[in-house]
Amino acid sequence: MNARTETAVIQTALQHASDHHLSNAHLDALEEETIFILREVAAAFERPTLLFSGGKDSLVMLKCAEKAFGAGRIPYPLLMIDTGHNFPEVTDFRDLRAKELGAELIVRSVEDSMARGTVRLAHEGESRNVHQSVTLLEAIDEFRFDALIGGARRDEEKARAKERIFSHRDSFGQWQPKAQRPELWTLFNTRLQPGEHFRVFPISNWTELDVWQYIARENIALPSIYYTHQREVVDRRGLLVPVTELTPPRDGETVQLRDVRFRTVGDITCTCPVESLAATADDIVIETLAAEVSERGATRMDDKTSDASMEKRKKDGYF
């Protein structure tokens, strides 16, 4: 049914990618749009912040911010909502990059919200991913942030595909998909009532492929787990679930050592790697061109519950 695996298709696609128009002019246009939006946030808001997880999309945004404002001059702090279930390679990298840039890094953790009693888990092993929303809203309240820049892309998921670049949130942090503000030309209506804020998505129009081509072009350093490495996993209904203290094998599952990389990195309890030998960004560009399954489809356990799960979470204040 899907002919993407056919060698001819891949060959042609590869030719496109190396084509000047698709690699450079196209990436230049995306970079320029992103930088324009990053500057608009700096100018239009009083207390913006840039969500920074150490993942590939936030590293691309950070690269654009460096270009927009000059090295060491990003005019907003970086914010990380920590579930406590992170891959250490990613958090270490996050801290290193923030230090290199001389940027202020604010970390707020779901575990603190649990200690305060504002986050209650249904059961011990529940994914903390959805609970990030609570901690995020608490951080917004604490710092009175009026704009949160996020690295979400419209190609990730259907609810995201519907979202404006400047996305209004009410005082409960809720997205109201039926009442989105028209977004005409580049005249961004950034007016807020007290207690409201904006989520801003400067890389909305980038695709997973664009991100990898840009990482390759700009030589952006990434946490090591984005590239091939050997890891203990169990094959659970087609997903390669990493074996960790938090995600032990279930009864009857066989632990295997496989060559894998992560296409997306998030909470350990809901992020899976894919089988891959790709060791460089260029290798990943080739794999992405040939991919048959979407980034989230291949890697996220939490999006499978319902077609509208992302939309529901966003209405609750999730990014």
Question: Given the complex with other proteins, which of 57 and 155 has the nearer CB atom?
Answer: 155
* The binder of other proteins chosen from 84, 102, 177, 248 (CB under 8 A): 177
Question: What is the nearest approach in angstroms of other proteins to the Cβ of residue 92?
Answer: 28
Query: Which range touches other proteins (CB under 8 A), out of 26-34, 94-102, 129-137, 139-147?
Result: 26-34
Work out how close the CB of 297 gets to other proteins at its nearest, in angstroms, rounded to a whole number: 3
Q: Applying CB under 8 A, does 102 fall inside the site for other proteins?
A: no
Near other proteins by CB under 8 A, which window of 53-61, 80-88, 144-152, 159-167? Answer: 159-167
Single out the residue of 171, 186, 244, 256 in contact with other proteins (rule: CB under 8 A): 186
**Distance between CA atoms of residues 181 and 168, nearest Å:** 8
Q: Assess 172 for contact with other proteins (CB under 8 A).
A: no
Site for other proteins in 193-232 (CB under 8 A): 193, 204-205, 207
User: Which residue lies nearer to other proteins by CB, 121 or 161?
Assistant: 161
For position 180 contacting other proteins by CB under 8 A, the verdict is yes
Residue 95, classified by CB atoms within 10 Å of its CB into exposed (0-12), middle (13-18) or buried (19+), is middle
Selected binder of other proteins within 161, 257, 277, 279 (CB under 8 A): 161
**What is the closest distance, in whole angstroms, from the C-beta atom of residue 43 to other proteins in the complex?**
4
Query: Which phi and psi (to 5°) does residue 318 adopt?
Result: -65, 155
Structure tokens, 101: 């840039």
Which range in 51-59, 115-123, 141-149, 151-159 contacts other proteins by CB under 8 A? 151-159
The one among 88, 100, 158, 248 contacting other proteins by CB under 8 A:
158
Question: For the residues of the chain, what is the DSSP string, one character each?
Answer: --GGGSHHHHHHHHHHHHSHIIIIIHHHHHHHHHHHHHHHHHHH-SSEEEE--SSHHHHHHHHHHHHHH-TT--SS-EEEEE-S---HHHHHHHHHHHHHHT--EEEEEHHHHHHHTS---SSTT--STTTHHHHHHHHHHHHT-SEEE----TTS-TTGGG--SEEEE-TT----GGGPPP-BTTB------TT-EEEE-TTTT--HHHHHHHHHHHT----GGGS-EEEEEEEETTEEEE--SSSPPPTTPPPEEEEEE-SS---GGGB--EE----SHHHHHHHHHH-SS-HHHHHBSTTSS-TTHHHHHHHTT--
* Residue 238 zone, left/alpha/beta (φ > 0; ψ -120 to 50; rest): left
| Interface characters, 43-82, with other proteins (x: CB under 8 A) | x-----------------------xxxxx-----------
> Looking only at residues 279 through 308 of this chain, which bind other proteins when binding is defined by CB under 8 A?
291-294, 297-298, 307-308
Beta carbon nearer to other proteins, 77 or 297: 297
Strand ordering across the sheet containing 274-275: 239-242, 229-236, 256-261, 274-275
The residue among 6 and 259 lying less far from other proteins, judged by its C-beta, is 6
> How many residues line the site for other proteins (CB under 8 A)?
62
In the complex, what is the shortest distance from the CB of residue 175 to other proteins, in angstroms, rounded to a whole number? 11
Kindly list the residues in this chain that would bind other proteins in the complex (CB under 8 A).
1-4, 9, 12-13, 16, 21-22, 25-26, 29, 31-32, 35-36, 39-40, 42-43, 67-71, 154-155, 157-159, 161-162, 164, 177-187, 189, 191-193, 204-205, 207, 291-294, 297-298, 307-308, 311-312
